[in-house]
A and B are shown apart, each in its own frame.
Chain A
Amino acid sequence: MTQKRTQENFLWHIRARQVPARALSVVYTFCLGGISFLAFVVLAVTGVLLMFHYQPGYSDGYHSVLNLASVIPYGAVLRNLHYWAGQIMVITVALHMVRVVWTQSYRPPRELNWVVGVSLLVITIILDFSGYLLRGSQESGAAATVAVHILQLVPGIGVGLAAAFFGHPTALSGSTLMIYVWHCVALPSVAFYLQGYHFWRVRKDGGIKPL
């Protein structure tokens, strides 16, 4: 019963009967947050589908990507869609941030939601990077090696953090089981819940008010 109530409350907030007129103005928001969320949904759907054929690992990663891109029916289109949705998401998230700064939508009482947004930006960038590593190419191996060495420079926690996030990539392939799990399960789940909270706060903080 209470569970249902909370869900209804959440949906009422997200999908209110009445919205400020300003929210309808495309030139005010440019739909950038919405497009970012749409890209996230596309990435989740195509990502789950790609998981049915992708194998992480030193040479398996690259080979399964080649298989997806060449022999598996519609594999190439799915992978392309996943790739382009990812590229678009990074751009729209960054532009969404520029829009929020321009309209000063970070001002009180929205400080908390701004910080949530910054963490979503960071997660988006890490997701983009880990996806690039999972390609398993030589370039991805070089990128993973550089990232591991950089992370290890952080005093105290760096070495452990690098091992926990990257596992042990080689210099020639960045595809490891660790990165796979972070990219496909752990980080998207965190991003999903943060996004839910982000949208709920947008409505709770009064939708989009005139300046």
Chain B
Amino acid sequence: MEDENSVLTRRNLLRIGWVSIIASGLLSLWPLSQYLTSSEDSLQSDIITLKISPLIGNQWYHIENTRVWLKRAGQGYAAILATCTHLGCEVAYNSSQQKWFCPCHGSVYNAEGTPIAGPAPRDLARVAVKAVNDTLIVNIGKVVGMDRQIL
């Protein structure tokens, strides 16, 4: 039945089929991973602007719907990110105890954001903040040192 000299024997055809299925599967891995990991539809700006409010005093003040807390510091302002340095949970400032508390694994930071208890390894991040006329501009993408927080 089968022609011995033909390239397209049943066995060869099957082998070509398998190889092409595996090859196309492997080739689709990269596009698939790009498709699944894309965040193009959820890009967010790092810049937060808000009007200077008298509520921002010497205690940390939470900017709604962000992770940024602000306070007056010297002549300017300081901005801190309420993201736990352990595993990223959102920490909250308790103004009566003057401490930051993480809900997830019990890390505690002092008012300046330095860890004093729990598994947190580093200080809470300070980010750049700048006052322009009556507006505050916070750049949460720009982490600054504690000495350079006041702009």
Contact = CB atoms under 8 A, between A and B. Distances in A.
Contact of A171 (B33, B38, B83): B83
A63 interface: no
Contacts of A142: 89-90, 103-104
A194 interface: no
A150 interface: yes
Closest 9 CB pairs of A and B: A164-B36, A171-B90, A163-B37, A149-B87, A146-B87, A149-B88, A145-B88, A160-B37, A142-B89
Interface string A138-179: 100110011011100000000110011001100110000000
A167 B42 CA distance: 9
Contacts of A138: 103
Contacts of A148: 88
A141 B87 CA distance: 12
Residue of A142, A159, A160, A168 most packed against chain B (CB within 10 A): A142
Contacts of B33: 160, 164
Interface residues of B, number: 14
14 contacts: A142-B104, A145-B87, A145-B89, A146-B104, A150-B87, A160-B33, A160-B36, A163-B36, A163-B37, A164-B33, A164-B36, A167-B42, A168-B42, A171-B89
A174 B42 CA distance: 15
Nearest to B34: A160
B81 to A, nearest CB: 11
B42 A171 contact: no
Interface in A114-132: none
Classify the interface of chain A: helix, strand, loop or mixed: helix
Interface in B50-92: 67, 83, 87-90
Q: Which interface class (under 10, 10 to 19, 20 to 34, 35 or more) fits A?
A: 10 to 19
Given A146-B104, A160-B33, A168 B39 contact: yes
Contacts, number: 40
Given A146-B87, A150-B87, A163-B38, 18 more contacts: A142-B89, A142-B90, A145-B87, A145-B88, A145-B89, A145-B90, A145-B104, A146-B104, A148-B88, A149-B87, A164-B33, A164-B37, A171-B67, A171-B83, A171-B88, A171-B89, A171-B90, A172-B90
Interface of A: 138, 141-142, 145-146, 148-150, 159-160, 163-164, 167-168, 171-172
B125 to A, nearest CB: 14
A141 B103 CA distance: 11
B119 to A, nearest CB: 12
Nearest to B42: A168
Nearest to A164: B36
A145 B104 CA distance: 10
Contacts of B83: 171
A167 B33 CA distance: 13
A168 B37 CA distance: 10
B88 A146 contact: yes
Contacts of B103: 138, 142
Contacts of B67: 171
Nearest to A176: B42
Contacts of A160: 33, 36-37
Of A145, A168, A171, A172, which is in contact with the most chain B CB atoms at under 10 Å from its CB?
A: A171
